Structure 1
Amino acid sequence: MPISNDLSRRLRLALQAARHPAADRPLVPLPDKGLAHDHVRLEGTGWLARIPKQSQLGLSAQDNLDYQRACFERAAASGHTPALQGVLPPSEHLPRGALLVQSIEGRPARLPDDLPALSAALAALHARPLPEAASRAPLLNAADPLRALVQEIDAQAAHLGAAGLSVPVLTAIEGERQRLLACVLGTDRPARCLIAFDAHPGNFIVQPDGRAVLVDLEKCRYAYPGLDLAHATLYTSTTWDLDTQAVLSVDEVLGFYATWAGAVGPMAATARPWHGVLRRAMWLWSITWCAKWRALSVEAARTGADGEDWSSQRSEAALVDHVRNRVDHYLSPPVVAEVLDGFDLFERGLRA
């Protein structure tokens, strides 16, 4: 049985077991475009099933659903994310369960034209009031988000050796890691807020009225807005998704940051001195993730429903080929050198 047909069959059984009102609706699997979820449209309802393939945060099946549910619930007030309709718990039919979320009608983002819409969506998310510390769980809320990010990068960097990288690339990555560590040793930090931590352009849908909606929210956390701004405009993000591929100029990136600053309010002042640091940090996270994926994607799919699983067996061959192409490109010496040159140009532009 084709994977998509089996997925629809198992989703229908889960809906029936939950006595969900959409249990008898036609189910239409969407193209396989992500390493963390399958998506199935519940025709005639306006809803999608987000069915996890794994937890990118290494959580158990139930904790992963609880985390994602909190992401959608916390971000909803921004007006730029899908509504959450319900949750299907882990079961024999769907071992990792599923979220039922609003199906957003629209088109992929077109860069650079839609950069103002993307910046407005992120500004609306970042401007949400910060909850009291006791109310932030289960979302990540590190005592020092910058130090926690370094620890995430270090964990991914453990795979650099197995990824077979060239000496120039390893040297560049190590240089940036040392630069970031020097920043961590200082005591200043920007204001924190709710961020997506996965704000690459392929995760946005632009509605007919021009409003951008951020549709992938599984990695939200309380950290620094500059990480989202970087992820939305880094070369490793804007050339990732086939539907949104574009190479942005430095002026276009600076314009995106300026538009966000004009929309987000007072937070912009504390964020600005950190834009360069967090842009480099988000690239470090992305490039070490590429090394991690290269090392782990060749492994067999794990049994059980908990934790991470980057095995290429979890996704369609076309998606795996695309990811491999992008990873190889981003880990190549010329691309790494060009990205680092771009950081210098960006930082000079910020000072101008």
Structure 2
Amino acid sequence: MSQTDTVEQASLNALRSTCRQAGIDARDAEPIRFSENAIYRLPYGVVARVSRVGQLPAAAKEVQVARWLEGAGVPAVRTLPDVEQPVEAEGRAVTFWRELPPHRPGTAADVAALLRKLHGLPPPEHFTLPALDPFVRLTDRIDQARMYTAEERQWLRERLADLERGYAALPSGLPACVVHGDAWIGNVLVTEDGRAVLADFERSAFGPPEWDLVSMAVKYATLGGISKEDYAAFIEVYGYDVMTWEGYQVLRDIRELRLVTMAAQVGMEDDGVRGEAAVRLAAIRGESGPRPWHWKAVSR
């Protein structure tokens, strides 16, 4: 059995175990996507998210944020009601959600509109969001990235240390608020009737709103994943261009480092992704010319 098969089987075993605990039908579970989490479609309009090992606190926060947004009237994916969650099995946290009707990824303008709503909310009253940690899991990802040489991993550690110092010295910007944490077009879903909803609250926190805005700037300027016109629409709807802020480069570089280490993490489980992990590392080391770099997606 390959490493990829082993990882996917472990996720499926955890799903089946937690479904038994919660009384949810897991027959004919259909995999949707494997990336940071494993996503499955279950019968009766249920979607399950299976975390990696050790992510119970993040999964619990995700459920809290989704239920808080529902109460605040912000369009977002909804948890399955009447189920105590997350449910844990084999060190993995599983959460259960209502399946959306047919949908597509959002546009840059859709992301901007939902971020304006989210950033305008007062913090939740019944639970406390953690302070934003843009470096979460990066040390572990670098240490485990054995497709890189020892020299390359050491370079990544030094890069991480430089960016941690830069983040600690960020200039003042917009007022701190609730942030999504991973705000890009893949985490905004638009149903056939035109309703846009937020998804994926694993990295939600309290911190600088620029962290959310930089995601779309990176999508445009680093990855070439949206057009100049799309990014202009994002700025117009939100009302601010983070690329004009003095702290932009630091947050951009942190986002890029996260994208490199994500590819490395998936590459340790899927040999087919290792080439992309190498391409990304070369780019941030200055070996691939100017941005945009047009990196490929790494989810399975």
Instruction: Tell me whether the two structures share a fold, i.e. TM-score over 0.5.
Output: yes
Say whether 1:331 aligns with 2:287. Answer: no
Q: What TM-score does the superposition give when structure 2 sets the normalisation length?
A: 0.72
Q: Secondary structure at the match of 1:118?
A: helix
Q: 1:157 to 1:248 in 2, by over 3 A?
A: farther
Give 1:253's match in structure 2, choosing from 231, 235, 251.
231
Q: CA deviation at 1:5?
A: 6.0
Pick the structure with greater CA Rg.
1
Partner of 1:281: 250
Q: Which runs of 5+ in 2 are unaligned?
A: 294-300
The one-character-per-residue Cα deviations of 1:194-217 (angstroms, maximum 9, x if unpaired) are 111111222232211223323221
The one-character-per-residue Cα deviations of 1:21-45 (angstroms, maximum 9, x if unpaired) are x32643212232x1x21011112x2
For residue 164 of structure 1, what is the amino acid of its counterpart? E
What is the RMSD computed on CA atoms of the aligned residues? 4.2
Cα pair 2:47 2:96 within 8 Å, conserved: yes
Distance 1:153 1:96 in 2: 16
Q: 1:49 to 1:125 in 2, by over 3 A?
A: same
Distance 1:292 1:163 in 2: 15
Give 2:198's match in structure 1, choosing from 214, 221, 224.
214
Q: CA deviation at 1:105?
A: 3.1
Q: Indicate the percent of aligned positions where both proteins have the same amino acid.
A: 16
Partner of 1:51: 50
Q: Secondary structure at the match of 2:290?
A: helix
Map 1:70-81; keep pairs closer than 5 Å. Answer: 70-76=64-70, 77-81=72-76
The one-character-per-residue Cα deviations of 1:167-224 (angstroms, maximum 9, x if unpaired) are 9x999x79x959946953x5x4421221111112222322112233232210000112
Q: Secondary structure at the match of 1:218?
A: coil
For residue 100 of structure 1, what is the amino acid of its counterpart? F
Distance 1:291 1:321 in 2: 11
Q: Which runs of 5+ in 1 are unaligned?
A: 55-59, 240-244, 262-267, 298-309, 341-352
Cα pair 2:163 2:254 within 8 Å, conserved: no
For residue 53 of structure 1, what is the amino acid of its counterpart? R
Q: Secondary structure at the match of 1:164?
A: helix
Distance 1:154 1:51 in 2: 20
Cα pair 2:179 2:206 within 8 Å, conserved: yes
Cα pair 1:226 1:275 within 8 Å, conserved: no
For residue 184 of structure 2, what is the amino acid of its counterpart? H
Q: What TM-score does the superposition give when structure 1 sets the normalisation length?
A: 0.63
For residue 38 of structure 2, what is the amino acid of its counterpart? D
Distance 1:289 1:67 in 2: 21
Partner of 1:66: 60
Q: CA deviation at 1:158?
A: 8.4
